């Protein structure tokens, strides 16, 4: 049963059905995503103690006695982008989630979901992934002494992420198909087998962990809420998590406002942004999504409904950027600010030209840098053979 069940309720986001504990598939019978809600409680900032995700234990679905499965996730820096902000009048920051233990924001959710899995006696974690979730699942399974089975679309995930899953000892299964097919295949097994615990972002405990990024931003800005929070959208779990975190701060009376949530998708994998731009309230599945940003190469986002709600309620928007814009933004961030993110994580920055048209001067803007650039080295094109090669001071001097 849910720890401290009197404090928490679990219900379906789509049909409202209540659950005492999560079903084995982590998904409602109707297919909708589940949501945890903290009942009757209004925490205060003073209730938060320590650092990282577990600083927010008071608003996570556990009791105080729990010892978490942790490798020090969260507490990532909020870094000002002064050079890029120059002449815009705005204040720009990146929340560098690539500094999490496995190099992406997934670790925030994974520490919570795997602690939950351990508490209910699960022994095998399973996920479908475009790469980062598989790396994180593998690491946290290792930490908890559990088995990890990760399914990945064959040939479509970045090499560094595959290396991580293997290094941490996961069973890696390649699926002949794209991410959406991989997720469906995984769910077809996981929804019938009690021995598999699903840690994709449909798992409501993942969302609880990821929402802590919003609390951290608020605290790092000394109690201010940004005007805009901009993040890449794939399966749409993270934008829903941040929105949940910011909405809770307002609901509890800790913050007075909420940011406008801006979701960015890559052209070629933009079913959600397309629906938003065309004023549709449902999302059409996109066959064969394609983009250089492999992390968000997704045609059928599971949490689309939550994401649309986040964008609409916050008066935000969803945008599309091209692969060229993504790679240029990645390069600019790395070469002008010293921060190396993976292509998907550069999508928000790539949207800046579109965003400037409607953002007020003096806006406070936070980009979520979701993953570390080292994971996907193929995204940076260069020819090592063409780099200067020297063997003595005279040859070296020519290049200085």
Binding site for ligand F0G (CB under 6 A): 104, 106, 129-133, 201, 232-238, 295-296, 342, 344-345, 370-371
> Measured from the CB of residue 299, what is the shortest distance to ligand F0G in angstroms?
12
Residue 254 or residue 300: which is nearer to ligand F0G going by CB? 300
Q: How far apart are CA 372 and CA 102, in angstroms?
A: 9
In the complex, what is the shortest distance from the CB of residue 20 to ligand F0G, in angstroms, rounded to a whole number? 26
Asked if 120 and 26 count as a contact pair (C-beta separation under 8 A), the reply is no
Judged by CB, which is closer to ligand F0G: 2, or 346? 346
Instruction: Give me the least distance between CB of 183 and ligand F0G, in Å please.
Output: 9
Rounded-to-integer distance, Cα 319 and Cα 353, Å: 11
Find tokens 């699903």 and name the residue. 198
Report strand pairing: 364-369 vs 91-96: parallel
Which CB sits closer to ligand F0G, 68 or 369? 369
CB of 4 to ligand F0G, least distance (A): 27
Cβ-based nearer residue to ligand F0G, 254 or 266: 266
Distance in Å, CB of 104 to ligand F0G, minimum: 5
Q: CB 17: neighbour CB atoms within 10 A?
A: 14
Q: Give the residue nearest to ligand F0G (CB).
A: 371
- Taking the least distance from each CB to ligand F0G, the nearer of 92 and 151 is 151
Q: Which lies closer to ligand F0G via its Cβ, residue 117 or residue 254?
A: 117
- DSSP label at 63? -
Q: Which is nearer to ligand F0G, 115 or 130 (CB)?
A: 130
Rounded to the nearest whole angstrom, what is the least distance from the CB of residue 385 to ligand F0G in the complex?
A: 30
Residue 60 neighbours by CB distance under 10 Å: 25
Rounded to whole angstroms, the Cα distance separating 13 from 45 reads 27
What lies within 8 Å, CB to CB, of 369 at 6+ separation is: 94, 95, 96, 97, 98, 333, 339, 341, 345
Report which of 261, 256, 311 is spatially closest to residue 281, judged by C-alpha positions: 311
Residues 50 and 72: beta-carbon distance below 8 Å: no
Min dist. Cβ of residue 283 to ligand F0G (A) = 13
């Amino acid at each position: 049963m849910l720890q401290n069940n009197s404090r928490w309720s679990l219900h379906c986001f789509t049909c409202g059905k209540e659950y005492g504990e999560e079903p084995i598939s982590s998904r409602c019978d109707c297919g909708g995503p589940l949501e945890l809600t903290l009942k009757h409680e209004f925490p205060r900032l003073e209730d938060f103690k320590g650092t990282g995700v577990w600083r927010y234990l008071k608003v996570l679905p556990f009791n105080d006695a729990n010892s978490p499965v942790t490798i020090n996730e969260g507490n990532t820096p909020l870094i000002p982008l002064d050079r890029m902000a120059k002449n815009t009048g705005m204040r720009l920051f990146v929340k560098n989630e690539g500094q999490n233990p496995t190099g992406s924001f997934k670790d925030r959710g994974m520490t919570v979901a795997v602690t939950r899995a351990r508490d209910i006696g699960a022994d095998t974690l399973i996920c479908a992934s475009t790469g980062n979730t598989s790396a994180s699942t593998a690491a946290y399974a290792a930490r908890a002494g559990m088995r990890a089975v990760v399914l990945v679309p064959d040939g479509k995930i970045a090499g560094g992420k595959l290396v991580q899953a293997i290094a941490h000892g996961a069973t890696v299964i390649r699926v002949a198909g794209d991410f959406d097919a991989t997720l469906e295949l995984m769910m077809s097994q996981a929804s019938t087998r009690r021995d598999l615990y699903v840690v994709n972002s449909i798992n409501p405990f993942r969302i609880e962990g990821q929402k802590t990024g919003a609390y951290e931003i608020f605290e790092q800005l000394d109690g201010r809420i940004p005007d805009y929070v901009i993040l890449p959208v794939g399966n749409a779990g993270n934008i829903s998590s941040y929105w949940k975190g910011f909405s809770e701060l307002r609901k509890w009376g800790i913050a007075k406002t909420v940011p406008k949530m801006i979701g960015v998708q890559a052209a070629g994998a933009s079913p959600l942004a397309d629906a938003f731009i065309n004023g549709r309230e449902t999302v059409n599945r996109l066959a064969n999504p394609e983009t250089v940003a492999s992390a968000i190469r997704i045609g059928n986002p599971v949490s689309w409904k939550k994401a649309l709600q986040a964008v609409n309620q916050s008066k935000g928007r969803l945008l599309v950027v091209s692969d060229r814009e993504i790679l240029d933004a990645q390069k600019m961030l790395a070469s002008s600010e010293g921060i190396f993110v993976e292509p998907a994580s550069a999508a928000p920055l790539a949207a800046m030209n579109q965003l400037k048209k409607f953002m007020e001067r003096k806006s406070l803007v936070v980009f979520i840098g979701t993953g570390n650039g080292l994971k996907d080295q193929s995204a940076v094109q260069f020819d090592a053979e063409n780099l200067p090669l020297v063997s003595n001071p005279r040859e070296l001097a020519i290049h200085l």
